[in-house]
Amino acid sequence: MIRHWHSPEPEEIGHNILEFLQAMQGPCRISIPGRDRSRCRVLVTLLHGNETSGIKALFALLRDSLPRGWQPAVDLHCYVIGREAALLDPVFTHRQVPDKRDYNRCFRPPWDIDEQGLVCRKLLDEIAALEPEVVIDMHNTSGEGPAFAVATRLARRHEPVVSLFTDRLVVTDLQLGALMETDSPDIPVLTIECGGAFEESADRFAWEGLQRFAGQDDILSPVDSEWGLDIYHNPMRLELDKPLNLAYADAPRPGADITLKVDIEHHNFGAVQSDTFLGWLSPAAARHLAVHDREGSNHFREYYRVENGRLFPRRPQKLFMITSNPVIANSDCLWYTVADPEPT
């Protein structure tokens, strides 16, 4: 179910990531021996078939670094999972296979209802057996924006690992069935969001971060006595409770239920205020927007207001993972938001 591939030679992996994936034949683990064979680290990537920065970085490691004599500090096990979605035409545009579940929503029971559940269960079993120092799950955001890390709890042991990649950490207790929710004191599991899938800066970020992650002897010792990270606590998701016709434009698009500003992604990790104009809504659309908490209560009206068919924040907040892809906005969410504390 997950093929194991040990130290592939450059001529076995093809000339590009497409040939590399074709050579895998299915979900795959690629293992590279380290200088210290007594420890290991795990990289997971391509859980989403359209998020390629992680696999590009892995490919570069195998094609360029290893033949020149570079070696990881400890054994490195790299899981490449969402190959099937990645190879659907047009390649590298499908987050998941249509009509199959999103891999990064399948890391919780029930396991045996489909192939996705079984692969995720197997991946977790293998990680438990490997006992890695840390697991990194490398993604791209669907919109443009800066890189950040995501953890399910605020723990000092995450800080040195996050610092290898970025100084932005989102801490969320949302339970979606993502790999990072399996984080434990024994095996830290972190998501790294490298920035937009088609941004060169995201590929460079993944490549540089992976070299530090794989190459440094010690990535777990505390970096400093002070928190050196910008922390974003408990984001909420702006979701649609039924599929709507979404557009991204400079003026309300005829026939669209919601037209978001064409440059909406520019708010990624920026502060929006109560007068920041976000987009246009049809009279019915506002009823289908939801900001759910863990108990399922809808806080839309605490976060947003609609004035003459125009959408504004009700309170200052920071938005991130803003997508400008209507398919992802409908199936996942429009964006994540962290509200500034209420004035006291």
Residue 310, SS3 per DSSP: strand
Helix (H) or strand (E) holding 238: strand 236-240
Range in contact with Zn ion (rule: CB under 5 A) among 21-29, 48-56, 167-175, 221-229: 48-56
Residue of closest CB approach to Zn ion: 139
48 contacts Zn ion (rule: CB under 5 A): yes
Structural tokens at position 277: 């104009």
Structural tokens at position 142: 């669907």
Q: Is 203 left (phi over 0), alpha (psi -120 to 50) or beta?
A: alpha
Nearer to Zn ion, 42 or 278 (CB): 42
Structural tokens at position 18: 């497409």
Can you say whether the dihedral through the CA atoms of 110, 115, 118, 123 is positive or negative? negative
- Residue 169 and residue 159: Cα distance in Å, rounded? 9
- Residue 251 and residue 216: Cα distance in Å, rounded? 50
CB of 139 to Zn ion, least distance (A): 3
Total of residues contacting Zn ion (CB under 5 A): 3
Among 41, 94, 139, 261, indicate the residue that binds Zn ion (CB under 5 A): 139
Whether 259 contacts 249, CB under 8 Å: yes
29 contacts Zn ion (rule: CB under 5 A): no
Nearer to Zn ion, 79 or 300 (CB): 79
- Residue 188 and residue 191: Cα distance in Å, rounded? 10
- Residue 140 and residue 45: Cα distance in Å, rounded? 10
Sequence-distant (6+) residues with CB within 8 A of 200 are none
Nearer to Zn ion, 33 or 177 (CB): 177
CB of 28 to Zn ion, least distance (A): 18
CB of 45 to Zn ion, least distance (A): 9
CB of 215 to Zn ion, least distance (A): 24
Structural tokens at position 3: 């093929």
Nearer to Zn ion, 65 or 140 (CB): 140
Nearer to Zn ion, 65 or 182 (CB): 182
77 contacts Zn ion (rule: CB under 5 A): no
CB of 127 to Zn ion, least distance (A): 18
- Residue 146 and residue 230: Cα distance in Å, rounded? 13
CB of 51 to Zn ion, least distance (A): 5
Strands 271-272, 168-171: parallel, antiparallel or unpaired by DSSP?
A: unpaired
Whether 321 contacts 335, CB under 8 Å: yes
Nearer to Zn ion, 138 or 311 (CB): 138
Nearer to Zn ion, 48 or 83 (CB): 48
Range in contact with Zn ion (rule: CB under 5 A) among 12-20, 44-52, 150-158, 220-228: 44-52
Range in contact with Zn ion (rule: CB under 5 A) among 46-54, 82-90, 116-124, 312-320: 46-54
Nearer to Zn ion, 51 or 203 (CB): 51
Range in contact with Zn ion (rule: CB under 5 A) among 132-140, 230-238, 300-308, 316-324: 132-140
Nearer to Zn ion, 41 or 139 (CB): 139
- Residue 216 and residue 223: Cα distance in Å, rounded? 13
CB of 138 to Zn ion, least distance (A): 9
Whether 21 contacts 80, CB under 8 Å: yes
CB of 163 to Zn ion, least distance (A): 22
Range in contact with Zn ion (rule: CB under 5 A) among 109-117, 138-146, 162-170, 280-288: 138-146
CB of 186 to Zn ion, least distance (A): 25
- Residue 282 and residue 284: Cα distance in Å, rounded? 5
Helix (H) or strand (E) holding 31: strand 28-32
Instruction: List interacting residues with Zn ion (CB under 5 A).
Output: 48, 51, 139
